[in-house]
Amino acid sequence: MTLTVLLSSPADYLPVAIMFVVAMGFVLTTIFVTHLLGPNRKSKIKLDTFECGIESKDNARVPFSIKYFLIAILFVLFDVEIIFMYPWAVNFLDMGMEGFLKMLIFLGLLLIGFFYILKKGALKWE
Amino acid sequence: MENTGTTAVQRSYTNLQGYEGPGFMATTLDKAVGLARKNSIWPLPFATSCCGIEFMATMASHYDLARFGSERLSFSPRQADLLMVMGTIAKKMGPVLRQVYEQMAEPRWVLSVGACASSGGIFDTYSVLQGIDRIIPVDVYVPGCPPRPEQILDGVMKIQELVGNESLRRRNSAEYKELLASYGIQ
């Protein structure tokens, strides 16, 4: 049995480099050549924003009233409160007095918040 | 059948002709591209009335348009190959349909399903477009009021035939440009 000593020189990695170049070359060529190969038509209407066939108007990024945001975010806040109340309602008897008091504290805190936004006039639409 | 790469069934399905040997087949680029295109048509359903209901049946499991490689509906014209117009197109809907067609990527085909889309059908009135070919070029018409799903499938197969046999140069040809120009499409 002969023992060959394997010594790697940088030249041995040439196939890897060639492989890399071919792979990159294939990807780049395909990306750019497809634009030239297929038929295309670049008219004003073609490149317009697609709005289900209806003519697009104005910019999509327009400022709108902060009231919508406030109402939406407050809705989410109190929506989450309900999420906590459901499991409590299901386990109402198991949790007993202790659970009831805990929920009372939780709801009390939220109620303070509710009165705060009420006083601040966050829910006043007009 | 001796020593051919494809079976008789496969060959009749793809309808390809070319040089054949054991395990391989050589054909022209046109035909290879046509084969790929015709078996992966992405339709854009433009369903405005009862023909659209028949189309729903065509898409569902019983008739199953997926057998023809068209299960992937595209609700954006950007990726759609085939515009399927199904239903009455009112004159007010005309510009919308036209815009959707114009925003489709080339190459694109149009299938007009049902009497209304093809000719206005029974609605011979001031408000209804008397056939969508007044505003956009149509490739295949499917008759019926509404047509049965089998008829719609037949229409799709006719489209497949057109797609499979289309020359790669057609969309750049003067004839095609003239056709679009006659519709006022750039």
Residues B76-90: tens digit of each pLDDT:
999 999 999 999 999
**pLDDT tens, B113-126?**
999 999 999 999 99
The pLDDT score that the predictor gives to residue B183 is 93
The band of A12, judged by pLDDT with boundaries at 50, 70 and 90, is confident
Fold of B41-156: Rossmann fold (3.40.50)
Instruction: Reply yes or no on whether the pLDDT at B165 is more than 60.
Output: yes
Q: Tell which wins on pLDDT, B95 or B16.
A: B95
CA-nearest residue to B102 within chain A is A46
Task: Give the pair of three-digit tokens for residue A68.
Answer: 């919508």
The band of B9, judged by pLDDT with boundaries at 50, 70 and 90, is very low
Instruction: Reply yes or no on whether the pLDDT at B16 is more than 90.
Output: no
Mean pLDDT computed over B153-174: 92
**Which residues of chain A make contact with B186, given a CB cutoff of 8 A?**
41, 43-46
The pLDDT score that the predictor gives to residue B20 is 85
Q: Tell which wins on pLDDT, B117 or B1.
A: B117
Strands B43-47 and B19-21, how do they pair? Answer: unpaired
**Which residues of chain B make contact with A55, given a CB cutoff of 8 A?**
99
Q: Tell which wins on pLDDT, A20 or B17.
A: A20
Matching residue, tokens 């924003």: A49
The band of B2, judged by pLDDT with boundaries at 50, 70 and 90, is very low
The pLDDT score that the predictor gives to residue A47 is 87
**Which residues of chain B make contact with A53, given a CB cutoff of 8 A?**
95-100, 103
The pLDDT score that the predictor gives to residue A2 is 60
Instruction: Reply yes or no on whether the pLDDT at B12 is more than 50.
Output: no
Distance of alpha carbon B101 from alpha carbon B135, whole angstroms? 10
CA-nearest residue to A43 within chain B is B186
Distance of alpha carbon B148 from alpha carbon B118, whole angstroms? 15
Adjacent-strand bridge partners of B112: B85, B141
Q: What is the pTM of this model?
A: 0.71
Instruction: Reply yes or no on whether the pLDDT at A68 is more than 80.
Output: yes
- Chain A closest-CA separation from residue B57 CA (Å): 24
Mean of all residue pLDDT scores within chain B: 89
Instruction: Reply yes or no on whether the pLDDT at B135 is more than 90.
Output: yes
Indicate the residue of A41, A45, A54 with minimum beta-carbon distance to B106: A41
The pLDDT score that the predictor gives to residue A61 is 86
**pLDDT tens, B52-75?**
999 999 999 999 999 999 989 999
A91-95, B18-22, B71-75, B124-128: the lowest-pLDDT one: B18-22
Task: Give the pair of three-digit tokens for residue B69.
Answer: 């490689």
Mutate to test the interface with B, among A40, A41, A42, A43 (most CBs of B within 10 A): A41
**Which residues of chain B make contact with A45, given a CB cutoff of 8 A?**
99, 102-103, 186
The band of A1, judged by pLDDT with boundaries at 50, 70 and 90, is low
What does the domain layout of chain B look like in residue ranges? 1-39, 41-156
Strand order across the B109-113 sheet: B43-47, B82-86, B109-113, B140-142
- Would the CB atoms of B103 and A50 count as touching at under 8 Å? yes
The pLDDT score that the predictor gives to residue B1 is 39
ipTM for this model: 0.70
Distance of alpha carbon B112 from alpha carbon B11, whole angstroms? 29
Strands B82-86 and B43-47, how do they pair? Answer: parallel
**A-to-B residue pairs, Cβ atoms closer than 8 angstroms:** 39
Q: What are phi and psi of A49, to 5 degrees?
A: -65, 140
Mean of all residue pLDDT scores within chain A: 87
The pLDDT score that the predictor gives to residue A59 is 82
Instruction: Reply yes or no on whether the pLDDT at B112 is more than 90.
Output: yes
The pLDDT score that the predictor gives to residue A16 is 94
